[in-house]
Each structure stands twice: as structure tokens, then as C-alpha cells.
């Protein structure tokens, strides 16, 4: 979700849920007011995290090893873990009459005027091969990296371009240690000597020897404090660690690892392009988070910088775990475990978590944790993973029933006053704050919804929430069965049955679909979104109801079907033409959850068409620009038409993942009757 609209820090011009007040008016009314202040930059009043199990410690130890693009600040920085030794690649633009500039950090998808443009290429899970192209100030270049028996090599190649200066740019490669890790880096005559926690690692460059006219060493006026190499970037240059290598040797290593990557991807057969896209997406979005010493996959590095180093969103991170399962079991486990370890003192997974222990202490996000964990277990069969995740999942499941129930239904909400609280959240204890729990920040479904100030709930019985919750109960009950937790399994199935019965009351026979209900007026809402199909995921629709929903609504070109599927509000809804975030655009997580529902019913042709259309939408921007968009225009298929669609947001790859599932995973069998 984009930087102006995710969590509680955005100000979209959507209606405040209580009273129809715009966020802009709310912000204006608070002009001149100040935030409360805190004596520490860290959130207090939180219990210490329980120690991870030995099995999970081993997962993180395996992940946090060797060279990779671990640094959140730049995709052109390679870091050696656990030492924290970093090699940074930068570029200096030179002008004869002025206009010099230095690009020290490179990110995918920056939108500021004059920002670098990055086309990401392959990125192996373990960083054994990476490849990307950068364009900036008229310069274009390619950076490839490869592993060689524990060493790293980098190959920088200038590409044909239209320079805006007569002078060549300067390639600058600097070496230091990150995250306050102990170590030294010293420039010697023809290499950089480093010494860290596990010994010495020399770094070499194929750069030409320094000019004899330079006063000392390489000549480059750059804002770099660490030892560095610099060279006029008019020909390929190579960097190697461990021992000196020629440019030809570096090129041979890069080519060998490139071929190994291609062979690995090709092993997926017809699903190879999908595997390549997802491995690349997760590869570039995965970082090392030094404060808690963990490997995680936040939504994108651009988002990370705005939140002080990283941000983990609830359902986004569970989806990252699902995506990682396509090729890296440890990374899949790490993402699921780390978002669960962010659980608040009140027992729920927060909407977001960021450095300093700051979280959304008053609201969560959609409950997709148990279906994610069960899916990973069914794929990898590690019982310890169920044992590690069961208690936080159970606590979260109970929390929904205890805190989000109204008139026998579930509704989105917030918890009112909390301790601790997120001090910068202007939407605490407001109707506006409840919509963020849905994850659908400005969905037309919630325009003008009433707010119960006593219960802190949006007064809408929500079909999508109840469907996801029923699926969560059912998945967690299966996990309880696996662990021999029979009492908890009965408890979970009882809750599932109770809300399944409530959800059944929202079926509208004349409309042929489940509808949200306004709990303030008692009226059903006829504004349709993909969440109205989520009962398929929960197996809450009868086969006859499922067919009616599919034929009457999903395949209806006036509502959801078309070249690009499926829009976040029906095509005949007045808000569809806004194409503004959740007001009509297409989102990977919605397609994924609807696809899971289609797998539960016997309509293989619709399921195949749905998966193929999702994949075609993903491929359009992936092939053209290497982009994995947060959301896509439902009329044009573009993700680049607005600034509120991050260009490398990992859950966009769910559009490809549904086709991967269609090709590789048979639909699940119906559960036994209870």
C-alpha cells in the first residue's frame, strides 16, 4: 500500500466513517495541535519476546549467512553476514560547468523527479546471482554479482546511453561495516584490507592504477567516508573478495552462476517464468533487520525507508511467506514467524510493526495467518513449525471473537484506549481508524458507515471478514488436530459453526450473493467487491450458491469479468471509474483469496481462466518494466498510471502465484462432514 495511505499515517480524501467528514477536514481541524511526546524513541510497556525455539533459531542462522543484498538502503550494496561487511556501489555524475551529483544508494521504484530508474533482473534466493540495470542522469549501467566458494564478485558494465554531459561518470566502490558491527577497512596501494569478527577479507578491483597526477590514491570528489575505489566508468570493472581476480575471471564466474540460476528456474518446467518472477521479487525485497537480528521480507525497500528501516504489515507478510514457499522454505517460515512474533500485548497481530517496537496497538488486519501456516505445513511437514505458531494464532483467533463481535456478526474496529499506544496515530478511537483494520483503506464498501463509539466497531457485518475468520478457525482446528489439542480443536470448530450460521444469514437469494449488512439500519449493501466471494474460500456457500455467485456475478462483464480481473469494486459501481487504490483497481491478495475459493468448488474451467487472466495481468508490467505492482488499473492493466502503486511490492506477485498453483497443485479435497 502506498506511503500516503497505508496504516494510520495517510490522508486519502475518503469519508470519515462517522458523520461523512473528510480526512482533509479532520486534518484541518487538528492544524496547530501537537502530537503527545514520549521520553524514549522506543515503545514501552511490552513484555519481552519469548525466546525462539531451537528449530527457529536454526532457520534464521541458515538464512543470515554469506553475501547478499541485505542492506535495506540500497539494492547495490552487498553485505557479508554475520560480519556486516558491506561493499557499496555508487556513481558520480560529472559536469564540466556544474551539475555534479552522486548516487550512493539505489532503490527500485523511486518516483521522485530525477530519481534513478531500476529494471531488476534475476535475484537468486541465496544471492548467488543477482542482476539489475540502472538509468540515472543519462547514464545506464548493469551490475551483476555472483558467489565463488564463499567469495563475492561484482561486474559493473556501462550500457549504451544518451549522456547529458561530455564527461564520463565515475564508478565508486566503497567498503565498510554496517550496523555498528566491529571491523576495520583500510585502503592499501592496490586493494582494501578489511578485518571483522571472523577474520580478514581483502577486496580487490580491476580498476586501472591511480593516475600519477593524483595527489593520493584514486581521484573522486564523492561524499564517501569509507575506503573506496574509483574509476572513470567507460569500460567494465570488476570487484572481487578473498583473492585478486582478473576481469575475465570475474566475467566467467558471473556467467557460470547466471547459467546455474537459469537451470534452477528451468527445472520448474512450464511454471519457470512464474518461479523466476517470484524468486526475483522476494530476492530483492528481503533484507536483514539488525536490531532483532533476523531476515525478513518487508513489502518494499521504499516503504522500509519511510518507516525507519523496515515495516512489517500483517497480511502482506503472511502472503510473503506463501510466495517464498515456492522455493525457500526457511524464508517462508521466517516471514510467518516474525509477523506472529510481533503480536501485541493484547494478543493480536498488529496492522503494522516497525523499529522501536512501535505497532498499531489498537487494530489488526485480515486474519489469514492460520491458512498460511497450514499451507506451509502441508507442503513441508515440519511439526515444530506448527508447535511454534499455534499459541499466537490461537490468541489472535480468540481476540477476533472477543473484540470484534456485534449482533452475532464480525465487524472491523479498533480497541479504543490502549497501553502502550501508537502516539503518532491521529485516527485512534475514530471511525476512520476502523477501515484500516480491513486493509482496504478507501474501499467504497465503507463509505459513510456508522461507528459504534462504545464498542469501537464499524457498524457493518462484513462478509469478507467473517469468511476469512471461518477459514482461519477451520485451518487452526486442523493444526490443533495435528498437535493433539482436541479441546482447542472443538473450541475452534464451534466458533466456525457459529459464524458460519451468521454468514448464512447474509445470503441474498434475489441477488444471488452474500451481502454486507448495515448493523445500524439493518439494510443489506449492494456494493459488491471481491470480498463478497470470500465465502467460497470458507466453504460457506453451498454448491448451488457458489454456481450462482460465479455465473451471475464473477463472470458478469458488467461487474467483475473482463480482460483484466478482478476489480476491487464492481465495474458498474459509481466508484469504479475512480481507479484510486481500493476504489476499482486490481489487487493481488484479492485475486489470490478468490482463487482459493474457486479451488473449493467443481468449476475447473472458470478456475483456469481466472488464474490465466491474473497471470496475464502480472506479466504485462513484469515483461515491460520489471515491475511488480501493489495494484493495477482494471481498465488498462497498467500499474504505472498512478503514484499510489508501489512498483516493487511483493504481493503483486500473487497474481502469478495463482497460475503457479493452477499448474502445480491439485485442488484440495472436500473436508469430512462433521
> Strand pairing partners for 196?
199
Question: What does the pLDDT read at residue 578?
Answer: 98
Using pLDDT thresholds of 50, 70 and 90, give the confidence band for residue 674: low
Whether the pLDDT of residue 5 is over 60: the answer is: no
Q: Which range (91-100, 251-260, 479-488) has the least confidence?
A: 91-100
Using pLDDT thresholds of 50, 70 and 90, give the confidence band for residue 532: very high
Domain coordinates of the chain in residue numbers? 1-31+346-369+377-527, 68-264, 529-674
Using pLDDT thresholds of 50, 70 and 90, give the confidence band for residue 668: confident
Quick one: CATH architecture of 1-31+346-369+377-527?
Alpha/alpha barrel (1.50)
Contact 514, 552 (CB under 8 A): no
How far apart, in whole angstroms, are the C-alpha atoms of residue 281 and residue 323? 9
Which of 490, 476, 317 lies closest to 397, judged by CA? 476
pLDDT digits (tens, 9 = 90+) for 264-298: 999 999 999 999 999 999 999 999 999 999 999 99
> Strand pairing partners for 89?
173
Q: What average pLDDT does this structure show over 211-232?
A: 74
Q: Which single residue is written with the C-alpha cell 484479492?
A: 590
**More reliable by pLDDT, 231 or 669:** 231
Length of the chain: 674
Question: What does the pLDDT read at residue 4?
Answer: 39
Helix (H, G, I), strand (E, B) or coil at 662: helix
Using pLDDT thresholds of 50, 70 and 90, give the confidence band for residue 412: very high
What burial class does residue 219 get, using C-beta atoms within 10 Å of its C-beta: 0-12 exposed, 13-18 middle, 19+ buried?
Answer: middle
DSSP run (H or E) holding 260: helix 247-266
DSSP 403: H
How far apart, in whole angstroms, are the C-alpha atoms of residue 407 and residue 429? 21
Q: What average pLDDT does this structure show over 556-564?
A: 98
Which of 274, 344, 348, 338 lies closest to 312, judged by CA? 338
Using pLDDT thresholds of 50, 70 and 90, give the confidence band for residue 215: very low
Q: Which range (75-84, 205-214, 300-309, 313-322) has the least confidence?
A: 205-214
Q: What angle do CA 58, 372, 479 make, to 5 degrees?
A: 85
Q: 408: cis peptide before it, omega within 30°?
A: no
Using pLDDT thresholds of 50, 70 and 90, give the confidence band for residue 209: low
Question: What does the pLDDT read at residue 484?
Answer: 98
pLDDT digits (tens, 9 = 90+) for 100-134: 999 999 999 999 999 999 999 999 999 999 999 99
What burial class does residue 151 get, using C-beta atoms within 10 Å of its C-beta: 0-12 exposed, 13-18 middle, 19+ buried?
Answer: middle
Question: What does the pLDDT read at residue 13?
Answer: 31
Q: What average pLDDT does this structure show over 250-255?
A: 98
Q: Which range (33-47, 112-126, 570-584) has the least confidence?
A: 33-47
Question: What does the pLDDT read at residue 673?
Answer: 66
How far apart, in whole angstroms, are the C-alpha atoms of residue 599 and residue 606? 10
Question: What does the pLDDT read at residue 441?
Answer: 95
Whether the pLDDT of residue 3 is over 60: the answer is: no
pLDDT digits (tens, 9 = 90+) for 230-249: 999 999 999 999 999 999 99
Which of 63, 130, 76 lies closest to 107, judged by CA? 76
How far apart, in whole angstroms, are the C-alpha atoms of residue 111 and residue 149? 38
Whether the pLDDT of residue 23 is over 90: the answer is: no
DSSP 79-139: EEETTTEEEEEEEEE--SSS--EEE----TT--STT--EEEEEEE-TTSSEEEEEEEETTE
Whether the pLDDT of residue 7 is over 50: the answer is: no
Question: What does the pLDDT read at residue 671?
Answer: 76
> Strand pairing partners for 199?
196
Q: Which single residue is written with the C-alpha cell 558471473?
A: 254
Using pLDDT thresholds of 50, 70 and 90, give the confidence band for residue 219: low
Helix (H, G, I), strand (E, B) or coil at 289: strand
DSSP run (H or E) holding 281: helix 272-285
The 3-state DSSP composition of the chain as helix, strand, coil percent (nearest 5) reads 35, 20, 45
Q: 566: cis peptide before it, omega within 30°?
A: yes
pLDDT digits (tens, 9 = 90+) for 415-425: 988 989 988 88
Helix (H, G, I), strand (E, B) or coil at 616: helix
DSSP run (H or E) holding 464: helix 463-483
Helix (H, G, I), strand (E, B) or coil at 313: strand
The separation between CA 419 and the C-alpha centre of its own chain, rounded to angstroms, equals 28
DSSP 14-41: PBPTTTT-BHHHHHHHTTT------SSS
Amino acid at each position: 500500500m502506498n506511503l500516503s495511505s497505508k496504516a494510520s499515517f495517510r490522508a486519502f480524501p475518503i469519508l470519515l466513517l462517522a458523520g461523512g467528514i473528510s480526512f482533509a477536514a479532520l486534518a484541518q481541524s487538528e492544524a496547530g495541535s501537537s502530537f503527545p511526546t514520549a521520553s524514549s524513541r522506543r515503545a514501552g510497556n511490552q513484555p519481552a519476546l519469548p525466546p525462539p525455539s531451537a528449530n527457529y533459531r536454526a532457520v534464521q542462522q541458515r538464512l543470515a549467512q554469506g553475501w547478499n543484498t541485505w542492506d535495506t538502503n540500497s539494492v547495490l550494496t552487498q553485505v557479508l553476514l554475520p560480519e556486516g561487511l558491506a561493499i557499496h556501489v555508487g556513481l558520480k555524475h560529472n559536469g564540466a560547468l556544474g551539475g555534479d551529483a552522486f548516487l550512493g544508494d539505489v532503490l527500485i521504484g523511486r518516483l521522485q523527479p530525477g530519481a534513478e530508474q531500476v529494471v531488476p533482473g534475476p535475484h537468486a534466493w541465496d544471492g548467488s546471482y543477482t542482476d539489475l540495470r540502472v538509468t540515472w542522469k543519462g547514464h545506464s549501467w548493469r551490475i551483476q554479482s555472483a558467489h565463488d566458494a564463499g567469495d563475492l564478485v561484482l561486474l559493473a558494465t556501462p550500457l549504451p546511453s544518451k549522456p547529458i554531459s561530455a564527461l564520463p561518470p565515475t564508478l565508486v566502490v566503497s567498503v565498510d561495516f554496517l550496523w555498528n558491527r566491529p571491523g576495520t577497512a583500510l585502503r592499501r596501494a592496490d586493494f582494501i584490507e578489511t578485518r571483522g569478527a571472523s577474520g580478514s577479507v581483502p577486496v580487490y578491483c580491476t580498476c586501472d592504477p591511480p593516475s600519477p597526477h593524483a595527489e593520493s590514491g584514486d581521484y573522486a570528489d564523492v561524499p564517501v567516508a569509507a575506503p573506496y575505489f574509483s574509476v572513470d566508468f567507460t569500460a567494465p570493472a570488476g570487484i572481487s573478495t578473498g583473492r585478486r581476480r582478473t576481469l575475465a575471471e570475474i566475467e566467467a564466474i558471473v556467467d557460470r552462476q547466471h547459467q546455474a540460476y537459469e537451470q534452477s528456474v528451468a527445472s520448474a518446467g512450464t511454471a519457470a517464468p512464474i518461479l523466476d518472477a517470484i524468486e526475483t521479487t522476494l530476492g530483492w525485497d528481503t533484507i536483514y533487520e539488525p536490531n532483532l537480528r533476523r531476515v525478513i521480507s518487508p513489502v518494499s525497500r521504499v516503504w522500509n525507508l519511510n518507516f525507519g528501516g523496515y515495516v512489517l504489515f500483517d497480511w502482506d507478510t503472511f502472503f510473503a511467506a506463501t510466495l517464498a514457499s515456492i522455493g525457500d522454505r526457511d524464508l517462508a517460515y521466517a516471514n510467518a514467524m516474525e509477523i506472529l512474533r510481533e503480536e501485541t500485548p493484547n494478543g493480536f497481530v498488529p496492522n503494522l510493526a516497525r523499529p522501536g517496537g512501535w505497532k498499531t496497538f489498537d487494530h489488526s488486519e485480515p486474519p489469514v495467518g492460520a491458512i498460511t501456516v497450514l499451507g506451509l505445513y502441508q507442503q513441508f511437514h515440519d511439526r515444530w513449525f506448527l508447535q511454534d505458531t499455534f499459541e499466537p494464532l490461537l490468541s489472535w483467533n480468540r481476540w477476533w471473537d472477543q473484540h470484534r463481535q456485534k449482533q452475532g456478526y464480525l465487524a472491523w474496529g479498533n480497541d479504543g484506549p490502549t497501553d502502550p499506544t501508537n502516539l503518532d496515530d491521529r485516527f485512534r478511537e475514530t471511525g476512520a481508524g476502523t477501515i484500516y483494520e480491513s486493509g482496504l483503506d478507501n474501499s467504497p464498501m465503507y463509505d459513510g458507515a456508522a461507528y459504534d463509539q462504545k464498542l469501537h466497531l464499524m457498524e457493518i457485518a462484513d462478509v469478507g471478514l467473517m469468511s476469512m475468520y471461518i477459514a482461519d478457525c477451520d485451518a487452526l482446528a486442523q493444526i490443533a488436530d495435528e498437535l493433539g489439542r482436541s479441546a482447542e480443536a472443538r473450541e475452534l470448530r464451534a466458533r466456525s459453526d457459529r459464524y458460519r450460521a451468521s454468514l448464512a444469514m447474509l445470503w441474498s437469494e434475489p441477488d444471488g450473493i452474500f451481502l454486507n449488512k448495515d448493523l445500524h439500519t439493518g439494510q443489506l449493501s449492494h456494493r459488491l467487491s471481491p470480498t463478497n466471494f470470500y465465502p467460497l474460500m470458507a466453504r460457506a456457500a453451498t454448491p448451488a450458491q457458489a454456481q450462482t455467485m460465479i455465473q451471475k456475478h464473477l463472470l458478469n462483464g458488467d461487474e467483475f469479468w473482463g480482460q483484466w480481473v478482478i476489480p476491487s469494486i464492481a465495474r458498474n459501481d459509481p466508484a469504479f471509474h475512480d481507479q484510486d487504490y481500493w476504489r476499482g483497481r486490481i489487487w493481488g491478495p484479492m485475486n489470490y483469496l478468490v482463487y482459493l475459493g474457486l479451488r473449493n468448488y467443481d468449476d475447473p474451467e472458470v478456475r483456469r481462466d481466472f488464474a490465466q487472466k491474473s497471470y496475464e495481468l502480472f506479466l504485462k508490467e513484469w515483461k515491460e518494466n520489471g515491475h511488480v505492482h501493489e495494484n493495477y488499473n482494471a481498465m488498462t492493466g497498467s500499474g504505472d498510471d498512478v503514484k499510489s502503486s508501489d512498483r516493487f511490492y511483493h504481493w503483486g506477485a500473487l497474481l502469478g502465484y495463482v497460475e503457479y498453483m493452477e499448474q502445480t497443485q491439485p485442488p484440495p479435497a472436500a473436508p469430512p462432514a462433521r
